[in-house]
Amino acid sequence: MENKEKKEILKANNLIKTFIVGDTKLNAVDGISFSINQGELVIILGPSGAGKTTLLNLIGGMDNATSGELIVDGKDIAKMNRKELTLYRRNDVGFVFQFYNLMANLTALENVELATELKKDSLKPEDILEKVGLKERMKNFPAQLSGGEQQRVSIARAIAKNPKIILCDEPTGALDYVTGKNILKLLSDISKKDNKTVIIVTHNSALKDIGDKVFKIKNGKIEEEIINVHPMNIDEVEW
């Protein structure tokens, strides 16, 4: 871990996202600044309504910031237009969602291919599925897979295109305890072994011990930033 190159991959600078509801302005993200290095496992923690989904949308290139900077590997995505954001999502970021969002009419393998056919330096879908433990189930459709297996497909889809950041929104929210732990283990391994930046957005505060960095969000601001020099192994965490 010490030999990991400390390259800054994501940096937010006084990031603000304002929503206008009727006559009132609401800052869902209200001046957030942080710095994330390559290969770090980051937990963004907060109750619902704290602004973590808005932050996730901004980091994921699904929405524009009102002001501030959000620099991904040297490029400010806060200022990007619609087209540039699409390219950003295509090349630089992988998503893992609470409800997997797999295409029902595509097999596990094809669901991964759906992402990889967009990008030249993608990894081989078969290899990735084998890595997440689904070698035998590649030809199965989502409906033939368990929730945990579906989330593995979704993770495989996210990492197969070799993105700079993997963004996970409540990745264990729809899973049982054991399966959820396995998924977190997989995400942690991706960060540690493959030197990938993994950002997990969750309301489950038990996860704070497993992240290299933890941002506690409240009212659109980072209320507390924790740096774990020796993050806990997933097996040791209980909730």
Partner 1 sequence: MTSFLKSVIRMFKKNILRLIFMVGIILIGVAFVSGLSVSGNIIKNSINTYYDGEKVSDVILKATNEDGISQDDVNKIKELDFVDGIYSFFMYDINMGEDKGDYRIYLLDYDNLPFNYIDLIEGNYPQEINQIVIEKTGQSNKIYNIGDVISFTLDNQYLPLDLSVEVSGIVSNPLYLAKQKEYSQNTIDGSTPDINSTDTSNLRQIDCIFYIDTDILTEFLGDAFKDASDVIMSLIPKTDAYIKFNNLPKDRFSDEYKNKVNENIEIIKDTINNDNYAYIGLSSNLSYRSILEYTDKVDVLALIFPVFFIAVSALVTLVTTTRLIEDERGVIGTYMTLGISRNKILMKYLSFGLISGILGLGLGFLIGLTSIPPIIYNAFTISYFMPEVMDFNFSFLIGGISSALLFIIVLLITFILVYKYTNIQPADLLRPKAPKPGKKILLERIPFIWKHLSFSFKSTFRNLFRQKLHLIMTILSVAGSTVLIFCGFGLVDVSNGLSDNPDLASMLGSLKLISFIIVLFAVILCLLVVFNLTNMNISERERELATLKVLGYNDFECSMYTFREILISSIFGIIIGLPLGYLLLSFVLDYVDLGNMSYVNWYSYLICVIVILIAVLIVNILLNRNIRKINMSDSLKSVE
Residues in contact with partner 1 by the rule CB under 8 A:
53, 56-57, 60, 62-63, 83, 86-91, 95, 97-99, 101-107, 110, 113-115, 117-119, 141-144, 157, 169
The distance of closest approach from Cβ of residue 87 to partner 1 in the complex, given in angstroms and rounded to an integer, is 7
The distance of closest approach from Cβ of residue 141 to partner 1 in the complex, given in angstroms and rounded to an integer, is 4
Q: Which is nearer to partner 1, 143 or 229 (CB)?
A: 143
Is the Cβ–Cβ distance between 228 and 212 less than 8 Å?
yes
Q: Which is nearer to partner 1, 14 or 101 (CB)?
A: 101
Tokens 């020796």, residue located? 230
The distance of closest approach from Cβ of residue 38 to partner 1 in the complex, given in angstroms and rounded to an integer, is 21
Q: How far apart are CA 33 and CA 36, in angstroms?
A: 10
Q: How far apart are CA 31 and CA 17, in angstroms?
A: 8
- Structure tokens belonging to residue 106: 């595509």
Q: Which is nearer to partner 1, 157 or 216 (CB)?
A: 157
- Beta strand 197-202 with 165-169: parallel, antiparallel or unpaired? parallel
φ, ψ of residue 43 to 5 degrees: the values are: -110, 125
Q: Which is nearer to partner 1, 91 or 179 (CB)?
A: 91
The distance of closest approach from Cβ of residue 5 to partner 1 in the complex, given in angstroms and rounded to an integer, is 26
Q: How far apart are the first and last CA of the chain?
A: 26
Q: Which is nearer to partner 1, 91 or 204 (CB)?
A: 91
The distance of closest approach from Cβ of residue 212 to partner 1 in the complex, given in angstroms and rounded to an integer, is 25
Is the Cβ–Cβ distance between 195 and 212 less than 8 Å?
no
Q: How far apart are CA 74 and CA 59, in angstroms?
A: 14
